[in-house]
Amino acid sequence: MAASYWSHVPAAPPDSILGIASLYRKDPEKNKLNLSVGAYRDDHGNPTVLRVVRKVEQEPASDHEYIPMAGIPSFCQAAAELILGGKAKSIIEKRVVTVQSLSGTGALRVGAEFLYQFYHPTATTEKPHVYIPRPSWGNHRKVFQSAGLKVAEYRYFDSSTCDVDGKGLIEDLKNIPCHSIIVLHACAHNPTGADPSEELWKQILQVVIQKHHLVFFDSAYQGFASGDLEKDAFAVRMFEQSGIEMLVAQSFAKNMGLYGERVGALSFVCKDSSVVSCVQSQLETIIRSMYSSPPANGARIASRILNDPVLLGEWKQELLEMSGRIQEMRKMLYEELVSRKTPGNWSHITKQIGMFSFTGLNVEQVRYLREKYHIYMTEDGRASMAGLSRETVSMFADGIHDAVVQFSLRTASSCL
C-alpha cells in the first residue's frame, strides 16, 4: 500500500466551543447543564420554537427551486430595512446592497473575502488589518484569517470594572493605521455582554470618520438584547445616518430561533448608488464559488415574518418574552449569589446585556464546575444566561459559590 497522502497532516488547532460541546455530549450524568452554546432554551431547558415560526412552517410547502445567488429578494430587502430602518436615507436612495448569507458566519466570510480582494484604500501593498475587540466571538479571528486578512485586536473589555474600557478603546482606534477594518458588535457583545454607552458610540463614530476606518458591524442579537428591535439597532443606525460607508452582517439564528436553517444577510452601505451593481456582481461571484446559491427554507420563513405586519407584531411580542426571561434569569442568579454571600461583586451579571454573561470565573473555576457539578461553560468564563431555567439557577449559584470559595486565593479576575 502506497504511503498515505495525509500522514504529514497535524491536527488543526482545537476549537474551544466544539471541544466543550463534545465533552458535554460524552458526559453520562443526567443533571448536566450546558451553558456553553449560545442557543436559547425555555424555562424547562428545551429548545424553543417561536410560535410565529411554527405558524409559518405549517403553511403549505413551496416547491424546491434554486433561488438566485444573492438570495430571496424580499428577504434581503426586509433584512436591510430591519437593521437600518425602513426610512433610512441609504435605503431610500438605493445605495444599499444586501445578499442572503449562511447566517452570521456566512455573512462575515463573504464580506471578508470581498474585502481581501477589493479593499485597497491606500497606494501601498500593505493591506489593511482587521481589528476585532478583545475579547470577541471565538470564530471571528478564524473567519477573517481564512479569507487571507490579518487580524489584530483593540482593547474592549476592562476586567477590573467588568465593563467596556472606553478610554482604551478610543486610544487604540486612534493609534492604529488609517483605513483599517474595524469589527463592532452592534449590541449584546459576545462574550462579555458589555455594550458601549450612547456617549461612547458617538466618540467611536468620530474616531472612525477622522481616521477613515471601514466599519464592519456584526449584528446577531437585534431584538434579543433589550427586547426592542429599534433600540438594539441604535448604534448601526447612528453610523448609517452619518453617511459613512460600512458593512453589516446580520444573523437571524437567535432572534428568530432559526439556528439550524442558517439565515443571515450581508449588507454594504455605499456612498453612491452607481457602485451598487458592481458590488452586487462581485458578491455574487464570491458566493458562486463558495456554495452556488443559498438554502431557501429558512429565508422564506424569515421573509414571511418580516414582510407581514401581523406576523411581525407577533414576533416582536415573542422577542420581549425571550429577552424578558433572560433578564429574569440574570436577576435570579444575582439574588441567589448575594443571598449565599458569595465573595465578590456580582452586579455585572445584571448590568451586562444579551444572551451571555462574562461571569469573571477563571479557567480553574470553570473546570471545577465542569468536573464536580457537570455544568459546562467556555473556559473564558462565558456562560449562556439563556440556558438557565428556574430550577437550574440555584444549582448554578451553588456551583459558582463553591468554585469561588475553593479557588478564592487564586482569583484571576479582580471584578469578583
Partner 1 sequence: MMKLLETCRNIYPYSSIRRSFYSSIYSRMPYRDLFSERKEPFGKMPKEGIQEVWKNLPPATLESYLNTSWSYQKSEENNKLDLASDVILDEAGNPFVFKSVRKAQEKILPQSIFSTEYSVLGDQEFLDCALKLAYGSEIYQNEHIAAVETVGGTGALRTAFEFISRCFISLDGQKPRVYVPSVTWPNHKDIIRSCGLKMRDYRSYRKNVQGIDLKSCLSDLFRATKGSVVLLQTSGQNPTGTDFLPEQWQEISQILKDRKYLCVLDMAYQGLVSGDVDTDALALRQLIADGHQVIVCQSLSNSFALQGNVIGTLSVVTSNKQEKENVWSHLRSLTHSMHSNVPNYGRLIVKTVLLNEELKNEWIEEAQRLVESIQDTRQALHDKLVSLDTPIDWSFLLQQKGLFLFTGLETEQIETLRKEYGVYLQPDGRLNLGALRMSQVERVATSIQKVIHMESQTEEKTKEE
Question: Residue 326 and residue 130: Cα distance in Å, rounded?
Answer: 32
Pairing relation of β-strands 181-185 and 214-219?
parallel
**What residues from 130 to 159 belong to the interface with partner 1 (CB under 8 A)?**
139, 142-143, 145-146, 148
Interface with partner 1, residue 278, by CB under 8 A: yes
Q: Which of 227, 257, 344, 354 binds partner 1 (CB under 8 A)?
A: 257
Q: Which helix (H) or strand (E) holds 339?
A: helix 309-339
Outline where DSSP puts E strands in 160-304.
Answer: 163-164, 181-185, 214-219, 246-251, 264-269
Q: Least distance in Å: CB of 204 to partner 1? A: 16
Catalytic residue among 163, 165, 218, 232: 218
Q: Using the minimum distance from each CB to partner 1, give the nearer residue, 175 or 289.
A: 289
Count how many Cα atoms sit within 13 Å of the Cα of residue 165 in the half-sphere of its side chain.
15
- Of the ranges 17-25, 167-175, 185-193, 226-234, which one interacts with partner 1 (CB under 8 A)? 17-25
Q: Using the minimum distance from each CB to partner 1, give the nearer residue, 57 or 153.
A: 57
- Of the ranges 9-17, 79-87, 336-344, 398-406, which one interacts with partner 1 (CB under 8 A)? 9-17
Active site residue 315: no
Give the per-residue contact string, 20-59, with partner 1 (x = CB under 8 A; - = no): -xx--x-----------x-x------xx-xx--xx--xx-
Grouping H, G, I as helix, E, B as strand and the rest as coil, residue 159 is: coil
Q: Which of 161, 197, 273, 277 binds partner 1 (CB under 8 A)?
A: 277
Outline where DSSP puts E strands in 54-150.
Answer: 96-101, 130-134
Distances (CA, A) of 101 to 88, 111, 147, 160, 216: 22, 10, 16, 38, 15
Interface with partner 1, residue 409, by CB under 8 A: no
Q: Least distance in Å: CB of 341 to partner 1? A: 37
Question: Residue 217 and residue 210: Cα distance in Å, rounded?
Answer: 18
Interface with partner 1, residue 123, by CB under 8 A: yes
- Taking Cα atoms as reference points, which of 142, 201, 157, 211 lies closest to residue 181? 211
Entry field: residues in the chain: 416
For residue 234, give the amino acid letter. Answer: F
**What residues from 200 to 229 belong to the interface with partner 1 (CB under 8 A)?**
209, 212, 214
CB atoms within 10 A of CB 393: 21
- Taking Cα atoms as reference points, which of 314, 357, 315, 367 lies closest to residue 337? 357
Active site residue 172: no
Active site residue 254: yes
Q: Using the minimum distance from each CB to partner 1, give the nearer residue, 256 or 397.
A: 256
Grouping H, G, I as helix, E, B as strand and the rest as coil, residue 195 is: coil
Q: Which helix (H) or strand (E) holds 377?
A: none
Interface with partner 1, residue 13, by CB under 8 A: yes
Instruction: Give yes or no for a contact between 210 and 58, defined as CB atoms under 8 angstroms apart.
Output: no
- Taking Cα atoms as reference points, which of 319, 93, 149, 142 lies closest to residue 228? 319
- Taking Cα atoms as reference points, which of 79, 71, 77, 80 lies closest to residue 100? 71
Q: Which of 205, 207, 275, 412 binds partner 1 (CB under 8 A)?
A: 275
Q: Which of 16, 17, 367, 395 binds partner 1 (CB under 8 A)?
A: 17
- Of the ranges 231-239, 251-259, 307-315, 330-338, which one interacts with partner 1 (CB under 8 A)? 251-259
Residues 6+ apart with CB under 8 A from 285: none
Interface with partner 1, residue 189, by CB under 8 A: no
Q: Using the minimum distance from each CB to partner 1, give the nearer residue, 290 or 412.
A: 290
**What residues from 290 to 319 belong to the interface with partner 1 (CB under 8 A)?**
290-298
Q: Least distance in Å: CB of 20 to partner 1? A: 9
Q: Least distance in Å: CB of 108 to partner 1? A: 9
Catalytic residue among 137, 163, 165, 172: 137
Q: Which of 44, 61, 309, 371 binds partner 1 (CB under 8 A)?
A: 61
Q: Least distance in Å: CB of 302 to partner 1? A: 12
Catalytic residues: 137, 218, 254
